Chain A
Amino acid sequence: MPSRTVTVGSASGLHARPAALFVAAAAAEPVPVTIRVGDRRAVPARSMLSVLSLGAKCGTEVVLEAEGEGADDALDALADLLARDLDADAPPATAPAGTGDG
């Protein structure tokens, strides 16, 4: 089965914004792609909850797998996305304001 091994490049890991971008990209591919960390169970790349559950951090090595027509193209596109730092253009976090009294 075609596969790609890639290191997560996003500073915050495969969480939040990077995970959302990755899941959306996987869902747009014509073939189902799976993702796993090491020997652990492979999960569907288009499942936000499953991808988050991997707990992949920046620098974690993940394996993408797919089968069928277009599998190689899909894997290349998703591997390329994962290797990038998807946090780089993230918006700044907003700080909550508190109220107190005298």
Chain B
Amino acid sequence: MVMLSGIYGLLSASFFVVMDAVDVAFTEASVGAGISTLLMLTTITMVGRQEETERHKPILALVTVFITGALLVYGTLDMPYFGSKEAPANLHVAPHFINDSMKEVGVPNMVTAVLASYRGFDTFGEVAVIFTAGVGVLALLSVVRRPEDDAEIEAVNDSMHQQHLILRVLIKILIPFIFLFAFYVQFHGDYGPGGGFQAGVIFAAAIILYAMLFGLSTARRVINQSLIQFLSAAGVLVYGCVGLVSILSGGNFLDYNVLLSDPISGQHLGILLIELGVGITVASVMILIFFNFAGRKDGRPNDYCNQVNNSDINIETRGSK
């Protein structure tokens, strides 16, 4: 079922390509078909694969769903036809974006221009949401690591090296190219499909690949946990600082025209800096989420009635063993 949802994400990404939304297709393919499937598989590892009891009363749900569906179809009878040029969505603000974005922002990719410059506030809120999700996962799932883990994991690692030899060699060759591609998508987002989100996800995917093949503790030694936590906050900070510098230079918050002497260069610099902030935050939050999910394998199910201070008891009993 999880695999089917991954296939569904990939199919919807191809829908988006057919409907000319290349940036959205890129994001949906990398996020929906990649990271989402990975997180669900990690959860299912911890939670159990085959839980199925009797669904009670599907008739009521079916009736509700049919009535709602019929009402919605009745509501769409007034909407404009698929692809019409006179639809209200295409009449008010969109011609202004299409006609004037080259003059005012100077970036060929209109979606990046709108995302980063015309609607920079929304993107700021979005980066804050990603950061909050990372903080939430940290609050729910973080595990205190014991130092005597390391020696025992070394032994496991060496014995596993022989079994995974082909994959390890191959991944060591491929990971630099994946990083290169992530940087290309990040900095080329002004001229083609791409931008901060997609680049952050691809970067995180390379690190997750490394962690999956070489073991979590090796990956934790390569990528310092506190550095990742610092970086996830630093991205949001860079974004906010660009806005503050705009205010200090005499314009509004996130007004890039005042960042440099020439407005168009100011726009370019502003877009570059905030895409960098977005990419850093997205990459570090995805890495953080994966490490916390994968590092949680030794949580024990507890009896609900005896639940006094469960997480503390877990950590203490493990530490005193």
> Are A and B bound to each other?
no
Which residues of B pack against A, CB within 8 Å?
Answer: none
